[in-house]
Structure 1
Amino acid sequence: MANFRARIWRIVSLLRNFLLLIGAVGIAAEPLPAGWQQRSFVGHTQYRLEQQQGREVILAHSQGTASMLYKEQSIDLRSTPVVRWRWKVAAVYGRFNEREKSGDDYPARFYVVCKTGPLPWQTLALNYVWSSNGLVGERWPNAYTSKAMMIVLRAGAAQVGQWQWEQRNLRADFKQAFGVDVNHLDGYAIMVDGDNTGSTGTAWFGDISFSAN
């Protein structure tokens, strides 16, 4: 029951623009980029800055934990609908069903969230994931809420240990996922979690940017 409640609060927090979480603990054991904040849901995923190939990136390491590094930022998708970032994972997880609550863990996630009204549940989220068992291009509603769509951009172990660049048109993805036109974001986040499956994961994220095309 305690774990179930923790997971529910995790989704509530995401869908409230990462700002509210009952019982959550903010941590910052290592220096983080300006404007980023951390929230712990189950234990503490470790986030810290690293230099790789002369560029600053964020390392995330989870040992059966789940905490999010988020950035509250208003972004006009009418002028800058395209997001780019790069990421790398050290390994993928075991044979878990990621569409069920018991398997809702990923070696790397990148979230974007939009408020659609003043109430907590009036939000939509896209959750781009590096899947352990899915197929690239697959998508499904999050195991805890239909307001968050999971979208598989990378899958399996073939590209483990290699930097991968991503580029997505967020307006197009929101339209496809929810059938609505979204003109702004209220925040975005990165995450490595392993609390449901007891998994250990390490990932790196860098060069997040928004542009016209």
Structure 2
Amino acid sequence: MTAKVFRLVFTGAASALMLAGCASISPGSTGSSASTADTPSLATASAVDCQAFAKRMGAYAAAQVAAEQRAAGGEVAPAAPSDPLAAASARAAEADAGDDGEDAADEPQTRATLPLFSVAPRDGRLPIGWQPWTINRNKTPTRYSIVEVDQRVVVHAQAESSASGLYVPLHDRDAGMVRWSWKTSGIIRNADNSHGPREDSPLRLFVAFDGDKGSLPLKDQLMYEMARLTTGREMPYATLMYIWGGKRAEGSVVANPHTDRVRMIVVDSGTKHANEWRCHERDLRADYRKAFGTDPGRVIAVGIMTDTDNTRSNAESWYGDIALD
């Protein structure tokens, strides 16, 4: 895929989400058609101890910063990270720092790793590599900025009847683990992720996958072509998103009724953990199999979004570092 396709990939998925809301998948459903059922399919729980999570992510961040300094010719401590996640971060950061980016002025460059929020300048600007994701020019965008809160540097999302996101186009990579932390001040009380006109969420994390679109049912191929013709944007083969839901139970799998190519997994729900940091580790391959019933293709992009446009409400949330390995 070209960098241009990567830049458009999430907006194409958002175009499908804008067509209508979502319907829950019936237990054990792995077919090509989404269906509505009273009892949704459930994925495994993913919340982990945030203290242990913070230590591991700290090592990951240190390894990434050290690798970038080495690639830039700076002096760093010679010790190599012992944590496999940190080691993977170091290798990826060196690859990113060594990329000359011939068309950087025109297109966002794909990256080997996700830029960390925790090492961003304290001036409110987002780390280089995170791209704005506009869903619709007629929609008010959500405001994103870098802030320091709870003794950590994170992304602050403020939505007021708005919808937009941030994303990073990635070098094609295998589906492994994804790790992140997030917090919200509260749920969107009138939101319902199973109903299009009220399908909003204070927190979303997206992962886009490549695949053979020619193998999909004709109706899906026609949908892709319609999206390309009407918006000029390519949709990813499949998009998996993790959300903080208001009504659905944790582990619920939710699908868009107009396209089987977008599925959601509720990893946090309700107000029990509002104003608390929640830390998650998810197996992308297992979750993709649960949501789509097949093995995933290569991961091509990751993004975040806080949206309140459908419910015309407000939300305030925070995103910590996101790591892939």
Task: Give matches, 1:73-92, under 5 Å.
Answer: 73-77=170-174, 81-92=176-187
Of the candidates 32, 37, 40, which is equivalent to residue 131 of structure 2? 37
Output the CA distance in 2 between the equivalents of 1:137 and 1:57. Answer: 25
Residue 18 (structure 1) aligned with residue 44 (structure 2): no
Measured after TM superposition, the shift of residue 16 of structure 1 is 5.2
Residue 186 (structure 1) aligned with residue 294 (structure 2): no
1:93 maps to amino acid: I
TM-score, structure 1 normalization: 0.81
1:184 maps to amino acid: R
TM-score, structure 2 normalization: 0.54
Of the candidates 134, 144, 152, which is equivalent to residue 55 of structure 1? 152
Aligned partner of 1:96 in structure 2 is 191
Measured after TM superposition, the shift of residue 96 of structure 1 is 3.3
Which structure has greater strand proportion?
1
2:154 maps to amino acid: V
Please say which structure displays the higher CA radius of gyration. Answer: 2
> Could you tell me whether the CA contact under 8 Å between 1:171 and 1:183 is conserved in 2?
no
| 1:107 match: secondary structure | strand
> Could you tell me whether the CA contact under 8 Å between 1:113 and 1:126 is conserved in 2?
yes
Aligned partner of 1:198 in structure 2 is 312
Aligned partner of 2:55 in structure 1 is none
1:39 maps to amino acid: W
Measured after TM superposition, the shift of residue 90 of structure 1 is 0.8
Measured after TM superposition, the shift of residue 70 of structure 1 is 0.8
Q: Number of matched residues? A: 191
Measured after TM superposition, the shift of residue 97 of structure 1 is 2.7
Of the candidates 152, 158, 164, which is equivalent to residue 67 of structure 1? 164
> Could you tell me whether the CA contact under 8 Å between 2:191 and 2:201 is conserved in 1?
no
**More displaced stretch, 115-124 vs 156-165:** 115-124
The 1:108/1:77 distance shift into structure 2, 3 A limit, reads same
| 1:18 match: secondary structure | helix
Measured after TM superposition, the shift of residue 152 of structure 1 is 0.4
- 1:148-169 Cα offsets, whole Å, 9 max, x none, are 1111000001100000001100
> Could you tell me whether the CA contact under 8 Å between 1:61 and 1:202 is conserved in 2?
yes
Identity of aligned residues (%): 29
Which structure has greater helix proportion?
2
